[in-house]
Chains A and B, each alone.
Chain A
Amino acid sequence: MRAAGGWGGASGSRASEGRGFRLGTGLVALLVPAAVAGIAVVLTSGSILSIKEFGLSFWGTRTWDPVAGQFGALPFIWGTLYSSVLALLLSTPIALGIAIFLSDLSPYALRQPLVFLTELLAAIPSIVYGLWGIFVLVPIVRSLEMRTPAWLRHTPLFEGPPVGVGMLAASLILAVMVIPFTASVAREVLKAVPATQREAAYALGATRWEAIRATLFYGRTGIIGAIMLGLGRALGETMAVTMVIGNSPAISLSLFAPQYTMAAVIANEFTEAADALYLHALMEIGLVLFIITVAINALSRLLIWRVAAERQPRVVLPAAAPIG
């Protein structure tokens, strides 16, 4: 507060004004790392009993038995990562298609309505997605599962009874939820690519497809950022997933198998957990989710740096900074 006053104060010299401004914005910027550190501290202190009891084996144990007081996070870690990766595989091509169409190909009159509708998808509350999932998506998935030929049902990817709820329904719903995020950020990225890039490509005799490829390459760090934003959304999604994933802590490759995620088990079991160890185990699931999210974000940062550092092709103007 003092810093802000210093900046706006009439009596301060230019130098102190600058110092005050830097101090003020610096303090505000520090709030974010402080909040992250605070979350880490709270999650760790809240799960201390479980950390002491199970140690690192918490990450690798398959049992989740509140009656016996045996807790392991592995099925939930698996379910979270598997559903998120599947959702990314499904959503990325569609989201990029939307972004390219809206930035490069769409007729002008269609553009604004389509942008609006895509962004509207992002505004739908996840509980509504969940209800839609239960009443519309799951019956469709079940009938698809029942029509799966028997030889396919014997492969690890499609084994198990056709109950409808499970990994496939969860990753489909996650994909739908992630698309608007990835698509709108990717569209902004493509829009920010200087027109000279496209003009240069066309001038060299590139086809439309080749020009778009050059544009995509130019904005690649931003597009990776857009995909990672979608991944972050998928990792933490709770309500819609818990309504369609089947909530069964099993580790299976099968898309038909009911599974569970970290966010879902916390939401489901937290209210009724009265036993201290149980409560701490649930908090530790939150800690594991937090660590995994931080790790994935760090990895995606690394990926973006590496990609950005690659030698750029001749069509890219060296003066322009990458976006994202």
Chain B
Amino acid sequence: MGLVLCAVAAAGHGLRADAQTIQIDGAGATFPYPIYSKWFSEYNTVRPNVRINYQSIGSGGGIRQLTNKTVFFGASDGPMTSEQLQAAPGRIVHLPMVLGGVVPIYNLPDLAADLNFGGTVLADIYLGKITKWNDPAIAKDNPGVALPASDITVVHRADGSGTTYIFCDYLSKVSPEYKSKVGVATSVNWPAGIGGKGNEGVAGLVKQTPGAIGYVELIYALQNKIAFGSVQSHDREFVRASIESVSAAAAAAADKMPEDFRVSITNAPGKNVYPISSFTWLLLYESPKDKERSRLMVDFVKWALTEGQKYCGDLGYAPLPEGVVRLEMEALNKIKVR
């Protein structure tokens, strides 16, 4: 109940701070919150009359609030489903803002090298089919590594999360069994393991439990200097997640980008492409009632996609490739601003 009340209170509608300043309210995904808040505060120095207020209440909450029009814009780590789009009172535009990756982390104290994970191997671990670290399937991808005979403790996110969505999206693409037994969502019915709350919960459980494996956002692993494994890409090479290899996944997708930008870029083809990558989207109504705020938001998105991308690296986000930015600039012109 508390959560509902907080969410409702947090979304209090666009009050004007004073006569000149216009406040725009948004809500949604927690994953891009650090870069969004950086952008909003930087943008406020460029355009002092615009104050953008963002509540990171989760992608699902953001979509709900946007559908109920209690906020002006939403944000989500997974694209809205066709069902959700139909339930909305107007046409919604998806705009990719930055990129994120999800990396496997593990606790094997005596290991010298970073591990390689094949896609199906990772799926079988999370299905509870591979239960020992020295399983031949893991050994095959890690020649010369002395794997211990210890049990694998699977750790996943307990809270609904875009990170889980991206991770399951990848595993479902590489393993038909994972797709039919688990599927893709922000929360799933896990066949194995224990749940930690948030990236910090998963990382904490993995750190404390010898033999544990978990998954966290790339940015979280980088900021906290957590070692992580490489994952097999679509082109069968083992790729280590980095800002470059995540950006490469988006560049690969730019050629076949659907008009509405609702695209999954996990397991994308190409060289040095990290397979567990995803966009995170900003959600706007194509023709909202409040055209003044619409114009200000379009201006902001244009700024964030060009000028704003330079703040990505420092915060550990992968910037959008130029091809995608160009497509988005065209799409932004379709949003009604008067």
A residues in contact (CB < 8 Å) with B: 39, 63-68, 70, 134-135, 138-139, 142, 161, 163-166, 242-243, 246-248, 258, 260, 264, 266-276, 279, 286
Contact = CB atoms under 8 A, between A and B. Distances in A.
B188 A65 contact: yes
Given A242-B197, A246-B194, A266-B3, A139 B61 contact: no
Residue from B58, B60, B196 with most neighbouring chain A CB atoms (10 Å): B60
Given A67-B185, A161-B151, A258-B194, 18 more contacts: A39-B1, A63-B189, A65-B189, A66-B185, A66-B189, A67-B182, A163-B153, A164-B209, A246-B194, A247-B194, A247-B197, A248-B195, A258-B195, A260-B195, A268-B158, A271-B57, A271-B159, A276-B87
B61 A272 contact: yes
B191 to A, nearest CB: 10
Nearest to A246: B194
B194 A163 contact: yes
Contacts of B61: 270-272
Contacts of B153: 161, 163
B288 interface: no
B196 A247 contact: yes
Contacts of A66: 160, 185-189
6 contacts: A65-B188, A134-B205, A242-B197, A268-B158, A269-B159, A272-B59
A243 B197 CA distance: 7
Contact of A165 (B58, B83, B190, B205): B205
B103 interface: no
Contacts of A70: 189
Interface string B49-64: 0000000011111011
Contacts of A270: 3-4, 61, 160
Residue from A164, A166, A273 with most neighbouring chain B CB atoms (10 Å): A273
Contacts of A63: 189
- Shortest 10 CB-CB distances between A and B: which pairs? A272-B160, A271-B58, A247-B195, A247-B158, A67-B183, A65-B189, A274-B60, A272-B60, A272-B186, A246-B194
A111 B207 CA distance: 42
Interface string B163-197: 00000000000000000001111111110011111
Residue from B57, B80, B196 with most neighbouring chain A CB atoms (10 Å): B196
A267 B187 contact: no
Contact of A272 (B1, B184, B187): B187
Nearest to A42: B1
B213 to A, nearest CB: 12
B260 to A, nearest CB: 17
B61 to A, nearest CB: 5
Interface string B195-227: 111000100110011000000000000000000
A272 B159 contact: yes
Contact of A243 (B3, B57, B185, B201): B201
A64 B189 CA distance: 6
B197 A142 contact: no
A267 B189 contact: no
B44 interface: no
A219 to B, nearest CB: 34
B161 interface: yes
A247 B198 CA distance: 12
Contacts of A68: 183, 189
Contact of A163 (B63, B161, B209): B209
A16 B153 CA distance: 72
Contacts of A279: 64
B1 A248 contact: no
Nearest to B59: A272
Contacts of B185: 66-67
Contacts of A248: 190, 193-195
Contacts of A266: 3
Nearest to A267: B3
A63 to B, nearest CB: 7
Residue from B1, B195, B208 with most neighbouring chain A CB atoms (10 Å): B195
B306 interface: no
B84 interface: yes
A25 B63 CA distance: 44
Contacts of A161: 151, 153
Nearest to A43: B1
A269 B160 contact: yes
A247 B63 CA distance: 25
Contacts of B204: 134-135
A286 B183 CA distance: 26
A151 B158 CA distance: 32
A71 B194 CA distance: 19
Contacts of A139: 208
Contacts of B209: 142, 163-164
Nearest to A258: B194
Nearest to B209: A163
Interface in B107-154: 151, 153
